[in-house]
Structure 1
Amino acid sequence: MTIKKAIGKLHLWLGLSTGLVVFIVSLTGAIFTFQDEIRDVTEPWRKVEAQATTPMLRPSRLQAAALATHPGVAKTTTWVTYFGPERSATVFFTDPAGTPTLVYLNPYTGRVLQELDLSRHFFSIVQEIHMTLLLPEAIAKWVVGGSVIIFLVMLVTGLVLWWPKRKQERKQRFTIKWGARWRRINYDLHNVLGFYIASLAGVLALTGLFMLFPVMLDATMWAANGGRTYPQEKVLPKVDTLQAVTAAAQPLPDVIYRTVLRRSPGAEMVLIGPTGTGKDPAYCWTYQQALHYYHRDEYAFHPVSGQLLLARFHAGKSAGMKLGDMNYDVHTGQILGLGGKIVAFLVSLLAASLPVTGTLLWWGRRNKKAKKSARLPVAGPPQVANRKALQ
């Protein structure tokens, strides 16, 4: 067996073993790409009228309004997010029954606009299928992650199999022969489209793996930094629970909100995490543009006094850390705006087609061999065969 035939066998059986997972992950990724645009059209409560002369309400006011009908939920366990002057603010929490709940509010008046059960929301379900296939997290990490790693191997082996031996074949390998029979069209769809999307599909696969396996992202960040390490970027603030501190004069979320607005005045989106029980820091992240997660400033506060423990600004981050921050935006294509999302959508959709065309290709060859075997003449006695030859 030649090396190329061995690669072909490897490509075939790896594809057949992971094809279904790759199909589901790619298809759900394509569906999820435009979730913000679709939801802005179908969910009017996501937007509000901007009020230039009216300041937005403090987080504690939004928490109180969102939890008015959920008395069993502690304010310290909620996530409060501001999305800019023309968008509603949200309060996220898990109720005592375990239901993940997202409440949309007018940030200027505190009026509740909509309450969603995320466990039943279409795009939440799509995202969960994309990330876990609805399997337990510990299992899904290896099923999805392993299949994506194999998909990367298949992109490489596919390029090896696609590469033309002679110059005369190159034009043929770059185009789809639409006028041919369906088997040939399917062959071209698998090979030609696979070639065109290989590099971009590899980027989407790698950025997805970085979310599943942070150690891979750490290695990439280290490489982006030229092998240099920045210990200060790994430092996490600690809370000294033995030290006596004075409680903040105002609710902690309000102290956090006021501080980050002053230190990150250009931020459009502000995410305030749970303020905790007093043992762990309270975190806040600010983003330059709503619904984009690349340009990020990070803060940590004392959970009792509200003292600022950490302020890490985007401008002062290493190249590797900036690369890590942009991972989600690269994965969804939104790092390049609407055009990037269109590219990510098309690449994901075409990646979902590869297991289908590959399986049809294998099935067609398998049936073709079976039919050829069925047509072979049955060997008879020598004298019969000789007599037929003489007739």
Structure 2
Amino acid sequence: MTGKKRNNRRKRILQLHKILGLVTGVVLFIVSVTGCLWVFKEEIESFYDDHKYVTPQDQEFLEASMIKELAENVIPKKTIHGVIYGKPDEAIEVVFYEAEPEIFYQSVFLDPYSGEFIKRIDNDAGFFGFILKGHLRLWLPDAIGSRVVSYSVLLFLIIIISGLFLWWPRNKKNWKQRLKFDWNKKTRWKRKNFDLHTVTGFYISSFGLILAFTGCVMAFNWFYFIAYKATGGDKDPRFVIPESEQAMVSKETTSFEYDKLIPILQRNYKDAHSFELHYPENDSTSILVEVSNSKGLYYNMDYLFFDQNTLKEIETNSIYGKYENTNFADKVIRMNYDIHIGAIGGIIGKILAFLVSLICASIPVSGILLWYGRKYKRKGKTRSTLIKNVPNLET
């Protein structure tokens, strides 16, 4: 490729990089800042979660049908999403969720032994409720905000890839300049800003790609499907709740059957962190129980399905079944959220995700300042002075 063609290609990529950066800059700043705050949600909430604990008793938990009745007395006429059974010293959490006509997402905490009401929490309110709304939809109506965020994150993938292309030095003498900050007392702020944008951008680019990629997997069904198939997936990537194998006999019999389920699972999964029971949606669907095998992680959960009349376990061809039956592609998709928030690497992974997200928030800021400095140069400066003070990505 001739030098002229190479320069023209570089200019086109630079123009694309600038346009996409300016269009998505504010969105990416908000998503990155709220993302780094969300990373430590569980750790921060642990400082004020006394309502989640009870004095353990030498007796079994209340039956699931009784828990359902008690919770519905606290929040009537709303749909129970699931009931979370934890350790003997943990309260039972009953999660209510409805998406229409507007999101209703609340939890009721009950004593697992007496059924005593402990606390009701609005999960969609408070500090982290506010943060999540900003991260997912910029505090706009969901139909608008979620799309703006989703496509901005998708464009962020292109911004990172084009930025890496522009960062790549043309000759060996520029490598040192692109890999570290070479500042002194005479270094002007424009030069420092350029280095902050390019040097830090390079070092976090790979992690930024991971955050953007995992974000796209959650944002777009087509992206999720392609990612699964590209890694060799051959199962149903959807979350599918199978039908019960037998028709319902009676409501009373059904209640009696799922009352037995949690005690059985507690004996069979002694090392489990928690169990989340989902009542059957109708007369024919199976009972879903999500078995959490690790605190703070979701990828290695066991999704179990039981006939609502006989409690016979039902197999599924979905990737959301028993973790021991997952293959490489299944694990990659199931790890997506844990990777996105850094939980896959424990506390070190979360710190890394926090720092990367925070630096990602600075990239659009330094980029806009870089653009502004070139677009609105102060009059009276000579061309040579401008070139000296404002490094060019094209060199």
Quickly name the TM-score band, shorter chain normalised. 0.7 to 0.9
Instruction: For residue 301 of structure 1, report the CA deviation from its aligned partner.
Output: 2.9
* Residue identity matched to 2:24: T
Residues 1:125 and 1:232: Cα distance change in structure 2 (over 3 Å): closer
Match in the other structure for 1:328:
337
Instruction: For residue 64 of structure 1, report the CA deviation from its aligned partner.
Output: 3.7
TM-score for both structures, normalised by structure 2:
0.83
* Residue identity matched to 1:313: K
Structure 1 distance, partners of 2:183, 2:265, is 58
Structure 2 distance, partners of 1:119, 1:20, is 24
Match in the other structure for 2:295:
290
* Residue identity matched to 1:283: L
Match in the other structure for 1:341:
350
Residues 1:338 and 1:88: Cα distance change in structure 2 (over 3 Å): farther
1:151 maps onto 2:160 in alignment: no
- Aligned CA RMSD, in angstroms, stands at 3.0
SS in 1 for 2:260: helix
Match in the other structure for 1:13:
19
8 Å Cα contact 1:83/1:291 also seen in 2: no
Instruction: For residue 303 of structure 1, report the CA deviation from its aligned partner.
Output: 4.2
Instruction: For residue 245 of structure 1, report the CA deviation from its aligned partner.
Output: 3.2
Report Cα offsets for 1:144-190 as digits up to 9, x if no partner: 11111111101011111111122122122111244322111111111
Match in the other structure for 1:45:
51
Match in the other structure for 1:352:
361
The structure whose Rg is larger is 1
Structure 1 distance, partners of 2:234, 2:91, is 40
- Output aligned runs, 1:1-391, within 5 Å: 2-48=8-54, 51=56, 53-73=58-78, 77-94=80-97, 99-179=104-184, 180-225=187-232, 229-230=234-235, 237-239=242-244, 243=247, 245=249, 248=253, 250-251=255-256, 253-303=258-308, 306-310=311-315, 312-368=321-377, 372=381
Report Cα offsets for 1:56-115 as digits up to 9, x if no partner: 4443343344333334446xx342112434543311115999743212234344333321
Structure 2 distance, partners of 1:358, 1:85, is 52
Report Cα offsets for 1:286-328 as digits up to 9, x if no partner: 1101331011111223345544333631111121112211111
Instruction: For residue 329 of structure 1, report the CA deviation from its aligned partner.
Output: 0.7
Match in the other structure for 1:380:
none
Report Cα offsets for 1:193-215 as digits up to 9, x if no partner: 11011001111111111111133
**Which stretch shifts more, 110-119 or 231-240?**
231-240
Instruction: For residue 28 of structure 1, report the CA deviation from its aligned partner.
Output: 0.6
Instruction: For residue 279 of structure 1, report the CA deviation from its aligned partner.
Output: 4.0
Residues 1:116 and 1:152: Cα distance change in structure 2 (over 3 Å): same
8 Å Cα contact 1:278/1:304 also seen in 2: no
Q: Is there any run of 5+ residues in structure 1 with no aligned partner, and where?
A: 375-391
8 Å Cα contact 1:101/1:116 also seen in 2: yes
8 Å Cα contact 1:177/1:184 also seen in 2: no
Residues 1:103 and 1:177: Cα distance change in structure 2 (over 3 Å): farther
Residues 1:85 and 1:177: Cα distance change in structure 2 (over 3 Å): farther
TM-score for both structures, normalised by structure 1:
0.84
Instruction: For residue 43 of structure 1, report the CA deviation from its aligned partner.
Output: 3.1
Structure 1 distance, partners of 2:161, 2:66, is 54
* Residue identity matched to 1:84: K
Structure 1 distance, partners of 2:23, 2:102, is 38
Instruction: For residue 46 of structure 1, report the CA deviation from its aligned partner.
Output: 3.2
